[in-house]
Structure 1
Amino acid sequence: MTVAMPGAGQVSGPGPDPVDAPRAVRGRGAPVDRVFRGAARGSGAVVLAVMLLVGVFLTYRASEALGVAKFGFLTTSAWEPDSRNFGIAAVLVGTVLIGLVAISIALPLALGTALYISEYAPRRLRSFLVSLVDLMAAVPSVVYGLCGAFFLQGYIVGLSRWISTYFSWIPVFAVDGSDPTDPLQTTTVYTSSTFIAGIVVALMVTPIACSVMRETFSQAPPGEREGAFALGATRWGMIRAVVLPFGWGGVIGGTMLGLGRALGETIAVYMIISPVFVVQWHVLQNGANSVSALIALRYGAASEFGMSALMAAGLALFLMTLIVNFIASSIAARGRSGSGAEA
């Protein structure tokens, strides 16, 4: 831009403003930051490497059995590897049923506990309840198994009989060879069932699901909470309009993480069930099985080929739990995104 003045030449003025552009930052950061970054990357790489090595090891050890069984490995119920007649159809169905029973019971328990701790519990009591729930996750599996086998089972049998009496028209709740109206009917047909194992596993996975849900609920935007109260909402109305929609991803993620734990539970299930190698759809009936319980049951007496078959079963369980946990982590991370946003 030039300005003409009388008696003088043209005077150059300031040029146009340069276009704003982000400044490149080339600093390497403090040494402690570089150490932390390297440690974080190294830890992540180690975890991925361990998971990869586990998958490679199981695939290598299972290759002999999978080469013999082929696709029949997923459709055969019997487990006679030395006779080349084996498959995981029965134990796979049992694993899924135990997991579904467990998560059906754990979901309302975890959701209610998480909502009470984050929204209703007094501040002084909140930290104690959080520690108590976290301590439940630290109880060994064998303790839950002993409690379920020698204490809970005697009480759950009555519930199983009541469900079978009034809901046996639903095929999954039917019990073969039992007459619920007969007062002298033995209760052994209801013991060591998928239902009992599922209840015990539900107690084990509830703390995990509760922790994920509670963490998500606590991150609900305060501005939206206060806005709901300002508009006259009750506490439950605020929870329904703000907390639950915001934490829905955490609810689904926590549920899926609990399901992943339920699918792989071994000792508690092994101590409760009565192993059968048929597809058992009746969850209240005596007899159940799971992939992890099968491995624990047959590991000690397995031949070399039988060990390869067990490795194949372990590979199937590894892939199934890996997929479930990956989906859960993705959903939970998506549900927590934007947690710092305000209304």
Structure 2
Amino acid sequence: MFSSYNMQLFGKKLKDIRSNLHLTQVKVSKLTGINVDAIRKIEKGSVVPKLETLELLTFVYKYNLLDLLNQYKDDYKLLEYYRKLDDAIVNSNNDRVITISEIVNEILNIDNIELINRNELSQLKIFAQQTKNYYCRNIEDYNIVIDELKKAIILTNCNFELDKLSDSVYSLFEIRILILIGLYSSRFKKNDDAIKIFRYCLDYLLIKEQANDEWLRISIIKLYYNLSYEYYLIQNDLKSYQYAKLGSEFCLKHKTHYLLALIYFRLGTAQYYLSDKAYKDTYSRAVALSYGLSDLEMVEYLSQKLEFESSLSSILWEVQKKSGSEK
């Protein structure tokens, strides 16, 4: 997803190889035609060498430097920041806005990571800033936000056009930016646009689902939830039910509780409006799961949601009573 490398360690290794061959930087320059200053910068880890530079050095050093560079791949650095931000979105408590703001500020101050494509860092910073704006509700103009997020995708996907989604191939992180565009579309009550984006992203990721990637599966679960919610907003209860059902089945298949309580809540709500009496059992599962995971924040959230109907409040009371007796 991100292509970061520990260039300082890689450069030190190149220097060791050169020294063991009893070659000076000047001698290597004469043998390869590479400028001495470029060799010095590579060994200091201050630049990422070009492919042709590594091939020329490979010939002299008798060492496959392309394979060696891969051993110093350091993808986790940017990915770690993304995951911290994503975890704050999903799991943080009532201080969510503060937590997200702190992580975004960390990301905006990153400047010491060597990347094959520096645009990936710029892309992450745009994504982080607009994520912060979304959750802090610091939003002024829909078109400005969408233009920023489109610019973020174009940094690594130059042919991207929002109205021609199927014309491009996407990385998982580019898909995550598309999901954020969908969330903004929903926030500005452009529900049809949000549904179009979410459905495209879901279909795209489901094709890759066999890759057994945890981040990919989390994104799929989010999309099932978001689609169920979008269809609820436009009062298409059957579609809301179908996506919530698919989402719950996906979670159970992969043995994850991620967003499952919320998906059960969406499923129960759809059943309620479809006059399906099973809604009571589904709501009970949502609350019981939250209790079982000791997710008191989720219990409180569901409690507030279920209070919109007196009969649903009784469900909550029964589950609380049962959970209390089991402890």
Question: TM exceeds 0.5?
Answer: no
**Greater relative CO, 1 or 2 (CA 8 Å, sep 6+):** 1
